[in-house]
């Protein structure tokens, strides 16, 4: 996997609002995508995944949208809570190789 040199994008939202975190992926042949959440001092935690034959998938308070036309992936978090504060990053499967994005730091204001 590779990540670009980092100056993490940040997103600050008010508690209770919805959050949308975006990820642009690189390869139109990518067929599997994952969103991870990483809290400070912890390893990345699996949130939700989606295969390229779908354009939307919902979990508990989270929705992933896949737009293959523009190679864009988004993670929507409903009713964002303070515990959602973390770095979120996407991963894509290219030819059986998982590659990770740089991440977005989400901060939830009480």
Q: CA 64, CA 36: separation in Å to the nearest integer?
A: 12
Give least dist CB 42 to other proteins, A. Answer: 6
Residues sharing a CB contact under 8 Å with residue 76, sequence separation 6 or more, in sequence order:
18, 19, 20, 21, 62, 63, 64, 65
Binding of other proteins by 1 (CB under 8 A)? yes
Q: Give the tokens for residue 1.
A: 């996997």
17 vs 97 by CB, closer to other proteins:
97
Query: Which residue from 6, 53, 70, 83 is in contact with other proteins, where contact means CB under 8 A?
Result: 6
Tell me, residue by residue from 12 to 51, as one string, x for binding to other proteins by CB under 8 A and - for no binding: --------------------x-x-x-----xxxxx--x--
């Amino acid at each position: 996997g590779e990540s670009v040199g980092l100056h993490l994008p940040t997103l600050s939202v008010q508690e209770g609002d919805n959050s949308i975190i975006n990820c642009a992926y690189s390869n139109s042949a990518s067929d599997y995508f994952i969103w991870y959440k990483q809290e400070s001092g912890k390893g990345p935690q699996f949130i939700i995944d989606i295969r390229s034959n779908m354009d939307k998938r919902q979990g508990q308070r989270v929705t992933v949208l896949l737009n293959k036309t523009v190679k864009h992936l988004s993670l929507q978090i409903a009713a964002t809570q303070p515990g959602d504060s973390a770095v979120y990053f996407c991963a894509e499967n290219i030819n059986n190789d998982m590659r990770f994005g740089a991440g977005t730091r989400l901060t939830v204001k009480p």
